[in-house]
Structure 1
């Protein structure tokens, strides 16, 4: 039969499948589904969504035929699933052909493709949820088809063996374990089956070996010798991984606010019930395949999309995605995720080196600038975002890997790489999820004291970086570079990323006690942020904006308390800016409102054509957020309000950059809640001296929690729908509101330094020089003088995962997966093309997008994710129990 005749015959079979109800399960006609198709395109292109939905929508079922069972698809759909799984089992457990040497690959792949095509349409049908749970995940029972000749229910039989009849009345008797478990075991076995995903082997009788060999595919972790997979083996393994990924994609048809709470039976079984041998072989095979792939071999083609059909690259893509789905999955009922646990137990240095080199190889592709004559070589690889997810997961669940990255100074390289992806995506509203993830990666690193200490290493060679992360005329350490980059994100995103402002400030907070010899430009930028956060327009725009000011002041105080004598430039700039800090001490609501009116009137008088800014109650101008206005009202007349606020000599001092456009919306109160978790109320209401008497461990990083290490919790991810520069009309500042936070700002240390400088003429040391400090001191602080109180304990701002935070995380990962699949499988060949996905609303919009590159696909997904996630309210600390349940370290 020719190719065209085969396609025509398969198309006719699809018509019959949808139009002829209750076809007998023991008919030889069913074999045509795993014999006729010659490629995956045949199955996907010839089986359109309308026919699939007609098959899953059983409107013709009679009450007699359904009984008390939940509504299911047409019986033909059930029979087809049984036939495909039975054939997969037969081909693996016995020689199913008259000639044992007949290749089985074609029939195995067709069974896999049939299930891959059908499952998403079962998942999208809400009315099939109960049937799907019973059919796949309850112990298997007998089935039947309608007897059209006698118009009655036919005899009971075993669905996987239609010729095996069952006794009447035994429809409720269990005959085997759940069908879904049996399917998953078969698929994982096929990933290690000789002659399919592994090279062919013969047994002692010179027949094809049917024994599953749990051999790791590639050399690397757990294996020193590759299995020698051919391109055909790689293509076969890729298609099985696609089906496993499709089985797991039940998450895509759930709302993001519940996705982390629902038991996804397929993932629960894989992560908790698979044998230890299967788990170790699978995780090592997937990891080694991903980490050993060298994208440099594809530098010749001018377009990465030209090689997306390469089986090796597709295998790497699906291996990475399926691995991440398994690792991230939050197993219900506090069960242990075997894959996450295995990842957390890696401990050999050579394994960490292998992982670090593989991740770096992918992430440095657009940063290295190796081949400037080939334009697309400088582009990020399509799976770079997923590789960032893998890196973050390793940091969170494996404390030994985290220590390896930090202690060996490889963290310096990752700082640059992570900042590159954050900077490259920060101006694109469609990819804000990537920016958030990059910030949380840096936050995870920043909770380690060693990370903060090693940031004092001079940053040499910054001029060779891409322009997006290059800082002109930069001189300083990695601490200077990190703080300056954070300042850039805060001041250039115009409030689009206000949800991660607390996380950005927490990074500065966590490293502040360890940074030394900050450059004058860096110190100026910190004061620049202070000016923005303390301006009347910013503080009065929202009832919780003062939390950001408090967080920044804590970081500034930490520098003074723990590294006073090694940061004399910073102290000098603080002293020269004394009017700004004294103005905040004298801040009043009425004075601030008057100040805003004055600034607004001055701008009108200058005919700047700038829309008026007022306070929430007076209609002042919100543009004052971007002016260097201080927060004090009456004394502000002595402080220049316009132009740059220069500190130091003109020849070595940068002007203060444009202050940040601050967050304004009511949703910022969620950030407030997260900040309250990071900074306990008791501490916030204490003086600096009293706070220093708290136990050292208060608020410290918890290594036992699997996902601690990011600050403030993802509660801050509830971005507002209104423009971030619009003033909230729901908030009216009052004197009581001001009194609730102004006296408790951590301003005492700074004011004391200013007062000391006025008394003595110059700032005098509050601590002994750092060189005199004990080299074994845990906090790297200098030994206090006898007449000075000891510095307060270092408090780290940590993060606890909640179910809604995991909803954001899962949404982002599946967005990457969907985008990659749409890029690799155009049109109707996509795994989930045309289905009604609930995790992110992109199905209809996606059809009108020209996907010229993987980046375009990710952008399309990211845009919808940003809109979808903006409606979520992430409660701070709400998921502490769930985070502990996912412990892997």
Structure 2
């Protein structure tokens, strides 16, 4: 039969399958589904979503209380699994014809299962059919119009006596299918080279040989391109079987029992776990995308079998190791990954990760236009890197105890800086930030950051800082400042993680440069501004976290950070203003700035407040293009525009929205030290503050909206404290009672003690206030002793703590990567999940033919808020992302 005739016959069989109900299970016609197709494209192109949905519609002969798909769907699944079992249990695929039949069985299941998983009403049927003990099944007898006799689906000739239908005929079908697929990954003649000896016993035929040399194996099995292509198709079906999470809302995804993943990660034998883990890991880490065998345009690779094998290997590996097994049972794959300990294995892992992640950086100096493009599976490789750092302490020590930590943290930072301005890639930015926080919990990492950072000119433009000089600590703090000040609130939910990074390294940093110290003070000014503190009941926790970081520098590294101490001493009015903070005074300050904004918008400005507007913006401190707009690091202004909040917030009055020139006016006004001190510290004494009536000066949500763009920090209001999952913000009203719950507990004592001591040592510091043009003298040759008499407090380590909602965000991001990659590798209707109604994220069609992946409505704020609460223990209830914010990115379909 020719190829065209085969396709026509297969299409006719598809029509019969969905149009003729209850075809007898012992009819030889069923074999046509694994004998006719010539390739995977036949199955995917000829089997349309309409045909599949007709097959998965509820069977009219089933009880409405227990809906099930058409009986033809069940019989087809039994037929292809039966054929799979016959070949795999023999332990060898004999000839090309049998191998093609086995692959066609895989393709049929790959095409059908996503359409079964998407139907909400089939949850109970799916659980009974795949994951409970196998029972007798039946088809409708159309001749006599009643239910036919019971039979064994995997052996249609075996009749089941009436009354024993509730009995067990064997293991659950889903478990048998998973075992068959895993064995098929190690099947000679299909995914491994054929063996010459045909006299091997079936029991011993399957040998779990690791595919590639590397971890656990010193010699590759020698897979051919055909073997790699076949293994890729089996891996693809395993991903589909495990993709139940795609059809679950992210708020409950972490608690969901995905039975396929639970079985693989808890019931697989130790030999299977180690062989599959090492095969997948070695395949991923040994592949060099920059080799001469790969086309230069990485985005154009869609049918290279080696690249597809690497992609699906990495995706299945990450899905297996991050799966949270319900209950207390450990994940065997994650446990095995955490037990790796050989130095040569760690070297192999580190080299493989670096080759992929450094692709955009290593190609900077290349003359090849496409050499600097990121590898398509780089996001999944970041996930693997993070998992290795979290679950294997030995690997984390291996990275951190050497200079490899410097290169690795720069690589991770590249992905954060490169994606920070792209709303569709915010998930990558958040993940990179949390990876950095994971690194900084180790004290050795903080100590090693004091090494001088040389050669940043060779880095991509997004990583370069004009006229930079300093250590890796200076570079990291500057980068954190840039992420917080140039993203317009898109990363608000992970601001606590960024502050935790500073907090974790603060006790160990030495010789901070003047520009870095200025940026730390700039963050303090922004977080201590009245607009920010009054816009959310928990916002002060971020200020407290930063103050603790400043204290840690002073307590642990006072003598070695003279520039930082000088800047703190010259900025004494800032800290004194915070000590004298009052609700009434802050409200007066907010009103004053609101009036000034209205005056500016109407073209009226008080002569007292009119200042030059030629001060450079903070956004120029790190220009993506490295152009002349970049501000010299030595001249970065102390007080910069700083946006905390949601850039999508809208003001009630259009006149309150500042334009670009107004932003410069606002920023330049902040350079005046007198202006920067809040009104309440200039107009109210301590005595007057104590006489404030209780509840005076209420501050409503509407007040917050009307003044959201006027503070020194240029901060839109942070979302008030929100109940997890509710999506409804509560109204916050600051009162003197609320103020007393946190203001007296701010850790200001250490800073004020240092300021007083420095002023006693050099009274001129009180008069010479710090500004962007202040000349800071070279630290004295003889170190001055610390005025702090108490012993330094132990360094406070802020770990990242997982919660169910944070894990739901993580799972949605990973499956979003997988969905996006599948859309690129299998464009149009050939995608594994294309056209199905996934729930873990929303798939929105764009006018240009592509799709955008977004989180479902109501899921983002809940997940983001929980991450903000748990990431650093600060209790910050921000809502920096809207309900339509992207989860991973965009896919362009053919």
**Shorter-chain TM-score: what band?**
0.7 to 0.9
Deviations 1:292-344 (A, max 9, x none): 00001268745323322100000000000000000010001111100000000
Q: Rate the CA distance shift 1:245–1:783 in 2: closer, same or farther, 3 A.
A: farther
The answer for the alignment partner of 1:770 in structure 2 is none
1:73 aligns with 2:72: no
Deviation at 1:414, TM superposition (A): 1.3
The answer for the alignment partner of 1:694 in structure 2 is none
Deviation at 1:205, TM superposition (A): 4.2
For the Cα contact (< 8 Å) 1:803–1:878, is it kept in 2?
A: no
Unaligned runs of 5+ residues in structure 1 are: 639-657, 671-714, 722-727, 765-781, 852-856, 881-889
Deviations 1:841-886 (A, max 9, x none): 11xx2375535xxxxx7xx22x447985235465479999xxxxxx
1:630 to 676, 684, 690: 676
Q: Rate the CA distance shift 1:384–1:51 in 2: closer, same or farther, 3 A.
A: same
Q: Rate the CA distance shift 1:596–1:375 in 2: closer, same or farther, 3 A.
A: same
Q: Equivalents in 1 of 2:597, 2:678: separation in Å?
A: 19
Deviation at 1:630, TM superposition (A): 3.4
Deviation at 1:587, TM superposition (A): 1.4
The answer for the alignment partner of 1:747 in structure 2 is 748
Q: Equivalents in 2 of 1:580, 1:228: separation in Å?
A: 68
1:54 aligns with 2:54: yes
Q: Rate the CA distance shift 1:7–1:209 in 2: closer, same or farther, 3 A.
A: farther
Q: Which moved more, 1:88-97 or 1:48-57?
A: 88-97
Correspondence 1:708-723 to 2 at 5 A:
none
Correspondence 1:522-533 to 2 at 5 A:
522-533=516-527
Q: Which moved more, 1:54-63 or 1:72-81?
A: 54-63
For the Cα contact (< 8 Å) 2:106–2:234, is it kept in 1?
A: yes
Q: Equivalents in 2 of 1:233, 1:395: separation in Å?
A: 32
For the Cα contact (< 8 Å) 1:491–1:660, is it kept in 2?
A: no
The answer for the alignment partner of 2:718 in structure 1 is 665
For the Cα contact (< 8 Å) 2:507–2:795, is it kept in 1?
A: yes
For the Cα contact (< 8 Å) 1:252–1:837, is it kept in 2?
A: yes
Correspondence 1:192-591 to 2 at 5 A:
192-203=186-197, 205=199, 211-297=205-291, 301-369=295-363, 372-591=366-585
Deviations 1:813-840 (A, max 9, x none): 0000000001100111000000000100
The answer for the alignment partner of 1:106 in structure 2 is 100
Deviation at 1:474, TM superposition (A): 0.4
Task: Calculate the aligned-residue CA RMSD, in Å.
Answer: 3.2
Q: Equivalents in 2 of 1:238, 1:209: separation in Å?
A: 25
For the Cα contact (< 8 Å) 2:212–2:221, is it kept in 1?
A: yes
For the Cα contact (< 8 Å) 1:484–1:525, is it kept in 2?
A: yes
Q: Equivalents in 2 of 1:296, 1:495: separation in Å?
A: 36
Q: Equivalents in 2 of 1:324, 1:866: separation in Å?
A: 26
1:164 aligns with 2:217: no
The answer for the alignment partner of 1:792 in structure 2 is 793
For the Cα contact (< 8 Å) 2:210–2:275, is it kept in 1?
A: yes
The answer for the alignment partner of 1:814 in structure 2 is 815
Deviations 1:30-63 (A, max 9, x none): 0100000011111011111111111111242255
Correspondence 1:36-185 to 2 at 5 A:
36-61=36-61, 63=63, 70-94=66-90, 101=95, 103-185=97-179
The answer for the alignment partner of 2:830 in structure 1 is 829
For the Cα contact (< 8 Å) 1:592–1:631, is it kept in 2?
A: no
Q: Equivalents in 1 of 2:364, 2:118: separation in Å?
A: 45
Deviation at 1:368, TM superposition (A): 1.4
For the Cα contact (< 8 Å) 1:541–1:664, is it kept in 2?
A: yes
Q: Rate the CA distance shift 1:310–1:660 in 2: closer, same or farther, 3 A.
A: farther
The answer for the alignment partner of 2:879 in structure 1 is none
Deviations 1:377-404 (A, max 9, x none): 2111110000000000000000000000
For the Cα contact (< 8 Å) 1:347–1:400, is it kept in 2?
A: yes
Q: Equivalents in 2 of 1:414, 1:866: separation in Å?
A: 35
Q: Rate the CA distance shift 1:441–1:102 in 2: closer, same or farther, 3 A.
A: closer
Q: Equivalents in 2 of 1:661, 1:276: separation in Å?
A: 57
Q: Equivalents in 1 of 2:240, 2:539: separation in Å?
A: 44
The answer for the alignment partner of 1:696 in structure 2 is none
The answer for the alignment partner of 1:870 in structure 2 is 861
For the Cα contact (< 8 Å) 1:505–1:552, is it kept in 2?
A: yes
For the Cα contact (< 8 Å) 1:591–1:632, is it kept in 2?
A: yes
Q: Equivalents in 1 of 2:84, 2:167: separation in Å?
A: 25
Q: Rate the CA distance shift 1:302–1:522 in 2: closer, same or farther, 3 A.
A: same
Q: Equivalents in 1 of 2:169, 2:828: separation in Å?
A: 41
Deviations 1:624-652 (A, max 9, x none): 996635353255599xxxxxxxxxxxxxx
For the Cα contact (< 8 Å) 1:158–1:166, is it kept in 2?
A: yes
Q: Equivalents in 2 of 1:347, 1:12: separation in Å?
A: 56
For the Cα contact (< 8 Å) 1:498–1:719, is it kept in 2?
A: no
SS at match of 1:753: helix
For the Cα contact (< 8 Å) 1:201–1:208, is it kept in 2?
A: no
For the Cα contact (< 8 Å) 2:575–2:752, is it kept in 1?
A: yes
Q: Rate the CA distance shift 1:434–1:865 in 2: closer, same or farther, 3 A.
A: farther
SS at match of 2:371: helix
TM-score in terms of structure 1 length: 0.82
Q: Equivalents in 2 of 1:729, 1:398: separation in Å?
A: 41
For the Cα contact (< 8 Å) 1:529–1:659, is it kept in 2?
A: no
For the Cα contact (< 8 Å) 2:529–2:713, is it kept in 1?
A: no
Deviation at 1:96, TM superposition (A): 10
Deviation at 1:155, TM superposition (A): 1.9
For the Cα contact (< 8 Å) 1:84–1:111, is it kept in 2?
A: yes
Q: Equivalents in 2 of 1:210, 1:143: separation in Å?
A: 33
For the Cα contact (< 8 Å) 2:91–2:187, is it kept in 1?
A: no
Q: Which moved more, 1:784-793 or 1:17-26?
A: 784-793
Q: Equivalents in 1 of 2:599, 2:55: separation in Å?
A: 71
Deviation at 1:141, TM superposition (A): 1.1
For the Cα contact (< 8 Å) 2:599–2:605, is it kept in 1?
A: no
Q: Equivalents in 2 of 1:342, 1:377: separation in Å?
A: 35
Deviations 1:342-361 (A, max 9, x none): 00000001100100110110
SS at match of 2:156: strand
Deviation at 1:800, TM superposition (A): 1.8
Q: Equivalents in 2 of 1:401, 1:519: separation in Å?
A: 32
SS at match of 1:164: strand
For the Cα contact (< 8 Å) 2:59–2:71, is it kept in 1?
A: no
Q: Equivalents in 2 of 1:554, 1:759: separation in Å?
A: 24
Deviations 1:663-719 (A, max 9, x none): 62335568xxxxxxxxxxxxxxxxxxxxxxxxxxxxxxxxxxxxxxxxxxxx8xx99
Deviations 1:725-746 (A, max 9, x none): xxx9933322122222111111
Q: Equivalents in 2 of 1:762, 1:824: separation in Å?
A: 68
Deviation at 1:550, TM superposition (A): 1.0
For the Cα contact (< 8 Å) 2:494–2:867, is it kept in 1?
A: no
TM-score in terms of structure 2 length: 0.82
1:840 aligns with 2:841: yes
The answer for the alignment partner of 2:625 in structure 1 is none
Deviations 1:264-285 (A, max 9, x none): 1100000000111111000000
Q: Rate the CA distance shift 1:235–1:444 in 2: closer, same or farther, 3 A.
A: same
For the Cα contact (< 8 Å) 2:581–2:681, is it kept in 1?
A: no
Q: Rate the CA distance shift 1:577–1:347 in 2: closer, same or farther, 3 A.
A: same
